Amino acid sequence: MPFSCDRQVFLADTDSAGVVYFASLLRLCHEVYELSLAEFGINLRQFCQSASLAIPITHAEIDFFQPIYAGDKLAISLSGQKLTSATFQLKYAICQHGGQLASRALTKHTCICPQTRHKIALPDQIDRWLLTVLSADGSC
């Protein structure tokens, strides 16, 4: 099932000109990632406190197609793709009210053992969650 979340852009998300700051938009995308995990039933506290694994972001990119201003209402859609047994990527379509694509973002995540920092296989729960976001097309 595709996952999407609506969000208004606040002044705190923008630079001094009132245009969304790139790092703020990546943070909003990360919020959608977290909300999708929680909706799937993954306990975020337990997920973050696991001593046996961590899933850091190892790559992030974002493209802007038009400015996004304070007060704009956005719909952020999430789609995912498993890359290897230890990695996946998430794609975000950031759309303004009315369905116009304003930005696209991508994050790559790698499952590691926190002690050794070596790659390990994604847990079954994350594999099952990924299957739910694989069906999304990442469009407005």
CATH code of 7's domain? 3.10.129.10
Q: Which residues of 30-56 are buried (b: 16+ CB within 10 A; e: fewer)?
A: bebbebbbeebebeeeebeeeeebbbe
Query: For residues 140 and 135, what is the distance between their CA atoms, to the nearest angstrom?
Result: 14
Given a contact cutoff of 8 angstroms between Cβ atoms, the answer to whether 72 and 96 are in contact is: yes
- What does the alpha-carbon distance between residue 87 and residue 25 come to, in Å, rounded to a whole number? 23
Residue 96 lies in a domain: yes
Given this model, what pLDDT does residue 135 score? 64
Q: How many domains does the chain have?
A: 1
Does residue 36 fall inside a structural domain? Answer: yes
Distance CA 69, CA 18 (A): 6
Convert the pLDDT of each residue in 25-41 to its tens digit: 999 999 999 999 999 99
Report residue 136's pLDDT band, with 50, 70 and 90 as the boundaries.
low
Judged on CB neighbours under 10 Å (0-12, 13-18, 19+), 9 is buried
In a domain, 122, yes or no: yes
Q: Quick one: how far is CA 109 from the chain centroid?
A: 10
pLDDT digits (tens, 9 = 90+) for 42-93: 998 888 888 899 999 999 999 999 999 999 999 999 999 999 999 999 999 9
pTM score of the predicted model = 0.91
Active site residues: 15
Q: Do the domain assignments include residue 69?
A: yes
By the 8 A CB rule, do 44 and 14 touch? no
Range of the domain at 92: 3-134
Q: Is the pLDDT of residue 1 over 60?
A: no
Within-domain flag for 140: no
